[in-house]
Amino acid sequence: MKKKHWYDWLWIWTIIYFLLGFFNILFAWLGMIDFLLPLLLAVFGGNKWFCNHLCGRGQLFTVISAKIPGPHSRPAPRWLSSPWFRYGFLVFFLTMFGNIVFQTYLVYSGASTLREFVKLFWTFRVPWGWAYTSGAAPDWAAQFSFGFYSLMLTSTLIGLIVMLLYRPRTWCSFCPMGTMTQTICRLKHRGKEDAIIFH
Amino acid sequence: MASKFFAVADRKSCVSCGACFRECPRDAIRIDHGCYAVMDPALCIGCGKCRRICPADCIGMEERKA
Ligand code: SF4
Ligand code: SF4
Ligand code: SF4
């Protein structure tokens, strides 16, 4: 049995995060920790310490899949971890994030009004108004919360789907955060002996 | 007794997620430069746990040379 560290329990944080957003959407802002911390560690530390130790989402997939039957050792199709898909998905993901920021700006500037729903898979609008009391925060802050929570929930759902179909952490093979941090590490360590391989 | 096989990750397709290293019972894996997994053949017992978890399916087993 491997020794457990405090960070081995961070999968619980991932569950708490989604529960908090269910009751009050403003908690969605806490997800920025999972967005910024991996990048900071990669940029300043030149490592993937976040993926390797701190990511609750990756852990959650392992924990859930251990509890349910399924083809846990079936490898995912190769294209899912191919560079073009990984980078393509990253670009798509960043575009969607950019759109959230833009929608936030529109509400901030008064060009648009607050829309209280969570959008799943960038398509399905799920009414989520109960999780927000009008006026509790500036409208733009609430708008960002709804958008960001949608992104976090959608990506986790995709992760759960591929977890059910293939190996538990299949999501990690094309996770935009993982791709971004690995790319930063590759750039940072470029030219070192042990040649960093670029695709 | 050393095992007959030991694990090796393909650096090119590794996504450095660390799933293998969390599974390894011998702590034989490290993630180098945040870029790819490296297995220490001296520690590896060839159990294959890392191979079964790897989401990029980039771990193979190599036979030890006598
Ligand atoms: S690849 Fe993504 S989901 Fe997997 S450990 Fe890294 S940040 Fe977490
Ligand atoms: S085969 Fe087993 S001992 Fe060897 S690196 Fe993989 S998990 Fe560790
Ligand atoms: S599980 Fe596979 S992709 Fe992830 S770090 Fe290990 S060898 Fe690389």
Residue of A nearest to B10 (CA): A197
Tell me whether residue B41 is exposed, middle or buried, using C-beta atoms within 10 angstroms of its C-beta: 0 to 12, 13 to 18, 19 or more. middle
User: Tokens 């960038």 identify what position?
Assistant: A122
pLDDT tens-digit map of A24-82: 999 999 999 999 999 999 999 999 999 999 999 999 999 999 999 888 989 999 999 99
CA distances A9 to A14, A62, A189, B33, Å, are 10, 12, 30, 25
Q: Residue A60: helix, strand or coil by DSSP?
A: helix
Find chain A residues with C-beta within 8 A of B27's C-beta: 2
Tell me the best of B8, B13, B15 to mutate to test the pocket of ligand 3, counting ligand atoms within 8 Å of each CB and taking the most.
B15
pLDDT tens-digit map of B6-58: 999 999 999 999 999 999 999 999 999 999 999 999 999 999 999 999 999 99
Q: What residue segments make up the domains of chain A, in order of their start?
A: 6-198
CA pair distance A89, A154, nearest whole angstrom = 13
Query: In order of start, what are the domains of chain B with their CATH numbers?
Result: 5-63 (3.30.70.20)
**HSE-up of residue A82 (Cα within 13 Å, Cβ side):** 6
* Best CA proximity match to B20, nearest among B40, B5, B3, B42: B40
Q: How far apart are the CA of B7 and the centre of ligand 2, in A?
A: 6
The pTM assigned to this predicted structure is 0.93
Residue to test with chain A: of B12, B14, B15, B43, most A Cβ within 10 A:
B15
